[in-house]
Every structure is written in structure tokens, then in C-alpha cells.
Structure 1
Amino acid sequence: MSLTLYTWATPNGHKPQILLEELGVPYEVRPVNIFEGEQFTDEYRRVNPNRRIPALVDATDPDRPPLRVFESGAILLHLAEKYGRFIPADAHGRSTAFQWLMWQMAGLGPMLGQGQHFWTYAKEKHPYSIDRYTKEGERLLSVMESHLAEHEFLADEYSIADIACFPWVRIHKLANLSLDELPHLRRWYGAIRKRPAVERGLNILRDHLTGVPDTGRAHDVMFGETQFRKR
């Protein structure tokens, strides 16, 4: 009985990879090549109806059928609850960790993802879109900066909230953002980046591309009509 992680080398894929390495539990990695459209296959749809990465299949309980978990935040919550680690034990700390996790899922990830798309990957550069997502990205990073000026980690202790936010802060340059004027965020980022489990998590699928290849097929799969076709 095992844990199987379906993933790719992206910020959302890095989140459960880092947590699993932090936990030190055995798991299997199943790469899902999102540039080749493997996320749209019927086989993968049975794992994740949203056809995105990552997804987790938890078959560790012999008395229950395998549990399929999609959405990176839900995977972090499932694993943290299952193993009782990287989630504060007290109610106040748990609530704080949950709030920052939801903040990442609803704000930091989507906004920096859009910033990354329009600044780095879009074939046609659209000034309004770049400006809109750059400004929102700057606002979100400033929210973290203000909070981290008074807290070592987002929920005081290192938790899934930090693990969720770290991979998105990591790609800030691809979203036209800078950490130069954010000393507390830089301190937080450096502390997490030095953790051996974080290094191991980032190195999973290191040999696979982390950006969209500069080919028409890859762009069609990722951003065009291909993603809506039945497979």
C-alpha cells in the first residue's frame, strides 16, 4: 500500500513534493507531462477530474479503497493531517496556517501565475495585462513582507502555509517581480531554501522543463484549444 504523487516541475507540483520530502515517508512519483497533454487523458481524468497537476492517490489504508486527492492545497492538508506534522497543534496556529494556505491558493498562486504567463510566456506582450498582474503581485508580496516583519514563519512555526507559498515566491522574477525591497520576505525565503528536504523536493523531475517550451504545440496544449478537447 502506498502514496502515489502525479506531478510535474511547476510551483504547484513542487508543493507536495517538498512536503513529502519533509515528512520522509515512502511515495511513488508519476510524472504527468503537461506540455504533451498527458493531463487530458482518460486515465488521468480518473485521478483528477480537473485534469491539472498535482494529484495524490493514497492507498495506505488496507481497509479502505484508495483515496484520490486533487488540488495542491487539499493534498497538503491531507498529508499534514494524516501524519500530524507541519500543521500547528493549537487552534489559533491551525487557523493561521489555514488562512495563509487559502491566501496562497486564492491569491498568490493565481496572480503570480498570470503575471508569469503575460511577462514570460505570452507570445504577444500586452502592456495592460503585464501592468495589472505586476501591481497585484507587488501588493501580495508586500502583504507577506508586513506579516513576516513580526513572525518568523507565516503561522509562527514552519508549516504547510510556508510550503505552499515558497514555490510561488521562488518564481517571482518570471512574474516581473523583485524581492530587493522586501528584507523580511528575503529572510524567510532564504531560511526555507536552505532546508535539505526543500532542495530534494525541488530536484524531483529536475531534468524536466519547468517552463513552457517555445513550440507551437506546447503553447496550444497549455494555453490553446487543446485543453478543452475530449480525450
Structure 2
Amino acid sequence: MSEKMPMDKKILVSKSISKKYNEKLILDNINFEMFSGEILGLLGPSGIGKTTLLNILVGLEKETSGEIINYHNNKIGYVFQEDRLLNWLTLFENIKLIKEDIDEKIIWENLSLVGLKDYYNYFPKELSGGMRQRGSIARALTFAGDIMLFDEPFKSLDVKLRFELLDLMRKLKEEKNTSILFVTHDIEEALYVCDRILILKGQPANISKEINLTNKRKENKLSLQDEVELKREILDSLYEN
């Protein structure tokens, strides 16, 4: 299990990040801090640049200007929009592939955590969509359990499965102290699971607002009144000029 760190300890910082494609500015001066053991939501409309920002954070793309600060040089696990499991390998083999020298006990622990221990020898085509996404979470967790990026991986699933996987995200936070950056365009998903929400909007995109939910939850739940008021606040922030 990851060493527990206080919730106010910075682990990842985006400092004045900007990104251009062919001289077109996509992301403009993105600043935020991520803390240990939190679920940080990044909420914005489709096509705004959320995936581009995640790719910069994990090193798949290079920022045009600015700096990413990883305070503990943690590896970062990435859960993509699609599961990206290789069809010719079993679930266990898919996970082991990304880290050949891993202690196999860790793979078994992570398969158990996501509820797939009994399916280790199944091929991806034999698994449901929700099970495949659980498998991709186990793979990312095995690669790097301290920081994980979730890029709208549940959007093709039905409502019941989506919320089961959101509960799994919360379980990772509580049992592994995993810090999660969760990208979504769904307000209900963000309100259900996030400790803080960053609103990304505009062309070029920047962070227009931060909403802190930590003091509003009781036993991991928002009151109906708080949920209605927060939805209104988020919608106003997303669509105001």
C-alpha cells in the first residue's frame, strides 16, 4: 500500500502550461495544484483540450510553454477513454506486459481490488465493457499506484456500470491513497466522486473556476440542496460569457 501522506501535500503542479498546434493556441496558462490522496475533477465540454492536458502531464506530449512539477517523481498511471487491452493476451498477461519485472503478487492484489481475480485467464473479448475497463484500471494501478489520470473512461458504459466504476475510484483513494485526476464532461459524475472540481472552458482553454466539495460531503454524499446548487454553479460557470 502507498505510504499515507497528508491531504494538503502537493504532489503534482501545472505551472503556466500553454499548448499550440500549428500556431493555434489550444491551452492558455493552465495553473493548478494536485494534492496527495484526492480526486481532482477536470470538467469541461468535449473537444476543449482536456485530453491534451493529460497527455502533457504524463509526458505523451510536450507543452509549448510552462512547467509540470512532479514533487516526488512519481510514475503516473493513465486510464484511457478506450481500454486498450491486447486481444491476443489474457487479462493477467496484459497487465504484466507493461512491467515485466513486477512482483506478481501486486498484479493479484490489484485484480482482487477491481473485482477481477477470478477472470485473470480470460481474453479481453470474453469480458464485458465494464470488466475491460476494470482491467485497464488494474493495469494502470500496477504501473503506477500513486498518481492516476482517468480520461473519460466510462462514457461508453451504462449508468449503473459508470457509478460502480466511480465507486471503484473512491476505493482506490481510500485503500491505496491514490491521487486521481478525473477528466469528464458529466457534471453528475464530477459531483459524485470529486473532492475538488476545476472548470476548463474557453478558446483557448483555461481554468476559469475551482469548486471545493470536501466540506460539503457527509459520509461521501452531498445533500440534495447542495447538489442542486452546485450543478447550477457549474452550469453558470461553463456557459457564462
Higher percent of residues as strand = 2
Q: TM-score, normalised by structure 2?
A: 0.28
Higher percent of residues as helix = 1
Q: TM-score, normalised by structure 1?
A: 0.29
